[in-house]
Amino acid sequence: MYFWKMSKNNLPTYAIVELLIRLANHNSSIGDYKNHTVYDNGVMVKTSSGTIKFSQSLVLLQFESPELITDKELADTALLFKSAN
């Protein structure tokens, strides 16, 4: 596995969308992808119903080897969702 410094321009957006789809199995209120912002230690994702923060390593793992992400990791990540309501 390799890592590179992410920016909004080289981040695989579809990996974020795939993560959101997978997280919907744990929290159906997460919503659809709208936008994202890359920070030094993560990615803040805006959805149609709120926001969620992903670590860079999780996004890259989804991009490179999604089968290595466990159900527990997905469930724990889904708990980070903050509703806009």
Query: What is the three-class DSSP state of 49?
Result: coil
Token reading at 77: 């990540």
Residues 5-56 have pLDDT tens digits of 444 456 789 999 999 999 999 999 999 999 999 987 789 999 999 999 999 8
Q: Are 54 and 16 in contact (CB under 8 A)?
A: yes
Query: How high is the pLDDT of residue 41?
Result: 77
1 pLDDT tier (thresholds 50, 70, 90)? very low
